[in-house]
Structure 1
């Protein structure tokens, strides 16, 4: 049985760019799809060109494709329920915030800048026919130990990247989440002041 997730366009209250309205975060990745060097590098290049406070660029990445020891090491740090589906992604990217400069000065906006880089990567991926799913459920200390990250390099997220697969391959509760209506809070709930 194949379950269609082809039309997942956001129903917005105001028009937004197609690349944003059509972007969504599947868990059903095609376990046979591969990501080529050039395509993977393009995603990281898009991330590199995200805005950065004072142009400090306090971000780093661990980028690994399925089939590598690095990919497997990242999967091992994922909380169990994320391992179930993320192992099928073509690649995983760990987003790392550089929290302080060489002289110890804190980089207050590091996590904000990192979020921008992953947003740019996500939009580029969608533009290139790929999908991403950002993951917060992982063990940052285990990941830091495995990759020898310094104390000022803080793993904030893991992003699964790949080609969408058949949702029927998912087990519950992931299947239900995959086909559920997309929802966001109303804009009026998010905007505190609009002058």
Structure 2
């Protein structure tokens, strides 16, 4: 199911086609080569002073790491994310040998965007989730103090919305994507004065 962005200007296809489905095909596998490409894309994201604050925990469906990441997700996210081909946790390193890393969260966000756009390029989908227990990830994977788990990511192949079961979830999956109008997003002259 495609849900291209309804934009006021032409967008690169990767951006227009990117969205975050929950309906995933639980028979489709994600290979290590596919994961390598996603993580290489994340690795080459820009970062402040090339500090590269992004790190990832990576598990494929059926392995121990996948199951442990799944166990840290909220019950609502577990209800659909178990169908993913892979689960990841994006972690930002906040300090290195030079001290605090400026803009670490921004750097992690840029890496995450590269990762999800690479997923689109490779015919996969990725859904980022705030609904997980960062402290449980820290304990479960011995994440050091200078690193902070920020987001979990389900990667897979899109399935049919009906796999979600609940009618409300199926409807939500089928709903058109929406964003603020550009006039409420980009300003010029003064705050609130639409640039477009």
Match of 1:182 among 177, 181, 185: 177
1:116 maps to 2:78: no
Are positions 1:62 and 2:38 aligned together?
Answer: no
Q: CA deviation at 1:149?
A: 0.6
Residue 126 (structure 2) pairs with residue 135 (structure 1) = no
- Given that 2:45 and 2:114 are in contact with CA atoms closer than 8 Å, whether structure 1 keeps it comes out as yes
The structure, 1 or 2, with the larger RCO (C-alpha pairs under 8 Å, 6+ apart) is: 1
The SS at the match of 2:35 is: helix
- Structure 2 unaligned segments of length 5 or more: list them: 189-194
**Aligned pair partner of 1:145 in 118, 129, 139:** 139
Match of 1:160 among 144, 154, 160: 154
- The structural deviation recorded for 1:123 is 0.6
Q: Normalising by structure 2, what TM-score? A: 0.93
Aligned residue pair count: 189
Q: Equivalent residue of 1:157, what SS?
A: strand
Scaled by the length of structure 1, the TM-score of the pair is 0.93
Structure 1 residue runs of 5 or longer lacking an equivalent are: 1-5
Measured against aligned partners, the alpha-carbon deviations of 1:68-102 in whole angstroms (never above 9, x if no partner) come to 11111111110110000001000011100001123
Partner of 2:90: 95
2:34 corresponds to: 39
The match for 2:7 among 12, 15, 37 is 12
